[in-house]
Amino acid sequence: MPRFAANLTMLFNEVPFMERFAAATKAGFKGVEYLFPYDFPAEELAKQLSTHGLTQVLHNLPAGDWGKGERGIAIFPDRVDEFKAGVTKAITYAKALKCGQLNCLVGVMPQGADKKKHHDTLVSNLKFAASALKNEGIKLLIEPINTRDIPGFFLTHTRQAIDIIAEVGSDNLYDQYDIYHMQIMEGDLARTIEANLAKIAHIQLADNPNRNEPGTGEINYPFLYEFIDKIGYKGWIGAEYKPKTDTVAGLGWLPK
Distance between CA atoms of residues 164 and 193, nearest Å: 17
- Calculate the CA dihedral of residues 149, 154, 159, 163 and round it to 10 degrees: -160
Q: Which of 43, 44, 136, 240 is catalytic?
A: 240
Q: Is 143 a catalytic residue?
A: yes
Q: Which of 70, 82, 136, 143 is catalytic?
A: 143
DSSP per-residue string spanning 83-128? HHHHHHHHHHHHHHHT--EEEE-B-BPPTT--HHHHHHHHHHHHHH
The per-residue b/e assignment along 29-53, b for 16 or more CB within 10 angstroms, e otherwise, is bbbbbbbbbbeeeeeebbebbeebe
Give 175's strand partners: 142, 200
Catalytic annotation, residues: 143, 240
